[in-house]
Amino acid sequence: MLKIHNLHAEIDGKTILNGLTLEIPAGEVHAIMGPNGAGKSTLAYVLGGRPGYEVTEGSVEFMGQDLLALEPHERAAAGLFLGFQYPVEIPGVSNLQFLREALNSQRRARGEEPLTGGEFLKLAKDKAALLKLDPEMLKRHVNVGFSGGEKKRAEMVQMGILDPQFAVLDETDSGLDIDALRVVGDGINAIMRDPAKGVLLITHYQRLLEVVKPDKVSILSQGRIVRTGGPELAVELENEGYDAIMSAETAHA
Ligand code: ADP
Ligand code: MG
Ligand code: MG
The CATH number of the domain where 70 resides is what? 3.40.50.300
Name the residue of 10, 14, 16, 86 whose CB sits within 8 Å of the most ligand 1 atoms, as the mutation to test its pocket. Answer: 16
Please tell me the distance between residue 42's alpha carbon and the centre of ligand 3 in angstroms.
Answer: 7
pLDDT tens profile 164-217: 999 999 988 777 888 888 888 999 999 999 999 999 999 887 889 999 999 999
Residue 45 pLDDT more than 60?
A: yes
Number of domains in the chain: 1
Q: What's the domain range around 44?
A: 2-252
Q: What is the pLDDT of residue 175?
A: 75
DSSP secondary structure of 166-214: EEEEESTTTT--HHHHHHHHHHHHHHH-STT-EEEEE-S-SGGGGTS--
Please tell me the distance between residue 220's alpha carbon and the centre of ligand 2 in angstroms.
Answer: 12
Q: Which ligand is nearest to the CA of 32?
A: 1
Nearest CA to ligand 1 atom 22: 11
41 lines ligand 1 (CB under 6 A): yes
Residue 153 pLDDT more than 90?
A: no
Give 14's DSSP letter: E
Please tell me the distance between residue 33's alpha carbon and the centre of ligand 1 in angstroms.
Answer: 15
DSSP element (H, E) containing 19 = strand 14-24
Neighbours of ion ligand 2 (CB under 5 A): 36
